[in-house]
Amino acid sequence: MAIKAKKLQSAKIEAIASAKTTFENFSDYIFTDYRGLTVEQITELRNQLRAKNADYRVVKNNFARLALEEMKIDNVSEYLTGPTAVALGKEDTNEVAKILFDFAKNVPALQVKGAYVEKEVYDAKKIEAFSKLPGKKQLIAMIMSTINAPVQKLAATLQAYVDKKQSEGGN
């Protein structure tokens, strides 16, 4: 539960509203502990995430907790402890998670705490398993190649028949 002050300060209200706006622009959140990362490492991670239309933001836990509670997402407060940064994604969140786990292999200081993906809370193990699944675009490509393969075989067979008839001198 978030701590609420008796006297509300306008700067804090604005900070909570800003955090809420940030969270509303994205649908999925992966919570990480960034303690021990250098500025260069965080910048590199942010650049990798931007390539997937994702963002990586350091958040103040209490402000994030209050903003998420206002959005009716109150079951992620256990991930908002200690130094927290959030990877924010709109689509292909498993690829965002994959980037985080690949980065954590090279930089063990980065730790994934948990996630909120498609209105479901994931712990660290579940989000790691989710990161190993193929992305939406990869799945579509796999389906399309499966659908396309029989048509290609039929076309090749028909072309071979036409070539054979032409080489025999027939029409």
User: Could you report the per-residue pLDDT of 27-74, keeping only the tens digit for each?
Assistant: 899 999 999 999 999 999 999 999 989 999 998 999 999 999 888 887
Q: Looking at the structure, tell me whether residues 171 and 96 fall in a common domain.
A: no
Using one digit for the tens of pLDDT, what is the confidence trace for 132-145? 877 777 777 778 88
Task: For residues 27 and 54, give the distance between their C-alpha atoms in angstroms, rounded to a whole number.
Answer: 10
CB neighbour burial string for 107-119, b if at least 16 within 10 angstroms, e if fewer: beebebbbbbbee
Task: For residues 92 and 52, give the distance between their C-alpha atoms in angstroms, rounded to a whole number.
Answer: 8
4 part of a folded domain: no
5 part of a folded domain: no
Q: Residue 121: CA atoms inside 13 Å, Cβ hemisphere, count?
A: 10
95 part of a folded domain: yes
Task: For residues 97 and 25, give the distance between their C-alpha atoms in angstroms, rounded to a whole number.
Answer: 18
3 part of a folded domain: no
Q: Looking at the structure, tell me whether residues 151 and 97 fall in a common domain.
A: no
Q: Looking at the structure, tell me whether residues 86 and 162 fall in a common domain.
A: no
Do 67 and 74 touch, CB atoms closer than 8 A? no
Instruction: Domain of residue 15: give its range.
Output: 10-133
Q: What's the Cα-to-Cα distance from 130 to each of 16, 18, 92, 98, 115, rounded to whole Å?
A: 30, 29, 11, 8, 10
Q: Looking at the structure, tell me whether residues 121 and 59 fall in a common domain.
A: yes
Specify the pLDDT at position 5: 57
Give the residue from 115, 113, 140, 126 showing the smallest Cα distance to 27.
Answer: 115
Q: Which one-letter DSSP state was computed for residue 131?
A: H
Q: Looking at the structure, tell me whether residues 123 and 140 fall in a common domain.
A: no
171 vs 150, residue with greater confidence: 150
Using one digit for the tens of pLDDT, what is the confidence trace for 81-138? 889 999 999 888 889 999 999 999 998 999 999 999 888 898 989 988 888 877 777 7
2 part of a folded domain: no
The whole-model pTM stands at 0.75
Q: Looking at the structure, tell me whether residues 121 and 82 fall in a common domain.
A: yes
Specify the pLDDT at position 6: 63
